[in-house]
Every structure is written in C-alpha cells, then in structure tokens.
C-alpha cells in the first residue's frame, strides 16, 4: 500500500486527512480505504490531536467505491469480496466510535460511498456547487453500506428519494435537508472546515470526547434510557471538574 493514497498533516491540534487519488476523484480502492481506517484510529490515539478534517485532493471529495477494482474482485475470490465489505463497514463505523470530532470538507463529487463518508463525519462543510448523491441504482447496484447512516440522518421520504432517484443535490439542497452544516464557495470549503475543527479542538478533550460518546449513545436510546445515560455522565463530569481544579 502506498501511503501517498492518503496525505496526513497537522495544523495545530487538527489532523488533516486528504484522500489523494485526484485522477480517480478519490474513488475508494482497498488501499485508500485501509489507509483511512488506520489514519482515523491513529488520530484517535494521538494525544496531540483534538479534531480531524477529512477532505479530498483535486476537484472532488470522493466519487465512491473504485468500481474497476470491484470488477476484478468479484468473479475471482469470494473471501476478498467479504474482506472488502468488512473493511468498508469498519470505515463507516469508525467515525461514530471515535471520541474525537471529524469535520468533512466536501467539494466536487461526493457520490455513493463518498456521500456516505461525508455524512459519517460529525459535521460537514460543503461547496455551493457540490454534487452529493447516491447514483448506485443508475449502475444496477445498491447503496448498501451507506444506507444506514442516511436513513438515520434524514426523514424516510427524503432518504428514499436520494436513493431511488439517483440524482445528486447541490450545497443549498444538502443544507436544507440537514446533511450539511455550512455551505461555502468552492475555494473556501477547506478553510471553513479548518475553522470549525479548530473551534472543536479548543475545548477540553475529555469534555468533547464525552459529549460525542454520549451523543451517539442517546441517538439510539429511548428518552428514559437517554436521560439515565445523561444523568450518569453528568455525575462523572462533575468529578472531572473537581479533579481539574
């Protein structure tokens, strides 16, 4: 695996991960997918990193799975197909399992698996002229792994429309749907995402991490269970504050 598939740099306490296959619109082959999984967990375990920005080199964020690689995989080796599906699932799960916040800086194409990556991040800054969508049905395939996050983040009618119509939306529509937090001119997207990430990185890492963990827990719980989890965290955090004095 060439690490040049993914560029890694720090800006203060913010780790910047740049998918680096611009000639392929940063399509996700196995090497890039594995590099992303590894880099996210490296950031999670690095005490100097308090937030992460995920972006793409060239004109696009990520055009989804590298279909040329899949066509080589399928007839030959069912084990390899299974391993790749597990890897993709692990990548999309990593964002919610990490305690550190991840901000997507989304320009150009964010399609299929790339759209899934963008909304798997905690916050998303998108370009006005972004092409965000799920075109899988146009190619006779299914937006399978990325469906779960989309359905959780959108109402059923809007989620099904994105999946079933296969048409990409622009930044204004993504913002209206609640899939983007901010929309910026194309040349301002990364700068804006870094500003957001710097703000997130400025908080107490313990408080920020605990906020994110509790957020993902309560999203899946009943109100009573969520309040109980919040109550427990409230007690724990009071202990942290005393210890910090």
What residues are annotated to the active site? 136
Report pTM: 0.92
- Co-location of 165 and 137 in the same domain: yes
Q: Are 138 and 212 found together in one domain?
A: no
| pLDDT tens track for 211-222 | 999 999 999 999
Question: Cα separation of 120 and 150, whole Å?
Answer: 9
Least confidently predicted of 2-6, 10-14, 50-54: 2-6
- What digits encode the pLDDT tens for the residues 171-199? 999 999 999 999 999 999 999 999 999 99
Q: What is the CATH number of the domain that holds 113?
A: 3.90.226.10
What range does the domain containing 232 cover?
205-244
Question: Residues 26, 123: one domain?
Answer: yes
Residues in the chain: 245
CA–CA separation, 127 and 61 (whole Å)? 10
Query: Are residues 234 and 180 part of one domain?
Result: no
Mean pLDDT of the chain: 93
124 and 215 share one domain? no
Statement to judge: residues 141 and 172 lie in one domain: yes
Residues 77 and 42 in one domain: yes
Contact 53, 103 (CB under 8 A): yes
Number of domains in the chain: 2
* Local structure of residue 101 (DSSP, 8 states): -
**164 & 77 share domain:** yes
Query: Do residue 171 and residue 229 come from a single domain?
Result: no
Residues 130-140 have a mean pLDDT of 96
Q: Do 79 and 32 fall within a single domain?
A: yes
Asked if 90 and 173 sit in the same domain, the reply is: yes
Residues 211 and 196 in one domain: no
- pLDDT tens, 15-33? 999 999 999 999 999 999 9
């Amino acid at each position: 695996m060439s690490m040049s598939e993914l560029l890694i740099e720090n800006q203060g306490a913010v780790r910047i991960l740049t998918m680096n296959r611009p000639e392929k619109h940063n399509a996700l082959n196995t090497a890039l997918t594995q590099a992303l999984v590894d880099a996210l967990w490296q950031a999670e375990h690095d005490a100097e990193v308090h937030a992460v920005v995920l972006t793409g080199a060239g004109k696009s964020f990520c055009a989804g799975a590298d279909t040329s690689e899949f066509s080589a995989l399928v007839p030959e080796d069912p084990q390899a197909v299974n391993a790749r599906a597990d890897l993709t699932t692990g990548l999309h799960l990593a964002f919610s399992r990490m305690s550190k916040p991840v901000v997507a800086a989304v320009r150009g194409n964010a399609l299929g698996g790339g759209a899934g990556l963008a909304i798997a991040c905690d916050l998303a800054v998108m370009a006005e002229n972004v092409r965000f969508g799920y075109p899988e049905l146009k190619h006779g395939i299914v937006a399978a792994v990325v469906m779960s996050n989309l359905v959780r983040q959108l109402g059923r009618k809007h989620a099904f429309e994105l999946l079933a119509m296969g048409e990409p939306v622009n930044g204004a529509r993504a913002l209206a749907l609640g899939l983007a937090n901010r929309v910026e001119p194309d040349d301002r997207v990364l700068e804006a995402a870094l500003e957001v990430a710097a703000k997130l990185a400025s908080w107490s890492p313990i408080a920020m991490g605990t906020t994110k963990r509790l957020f993902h827990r309560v999203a899946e719980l009943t109100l009573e269970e969520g309040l109980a989890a919040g109550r427990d965290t409230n007690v724990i955090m009071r202990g942290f504050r005393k210890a910090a004095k």
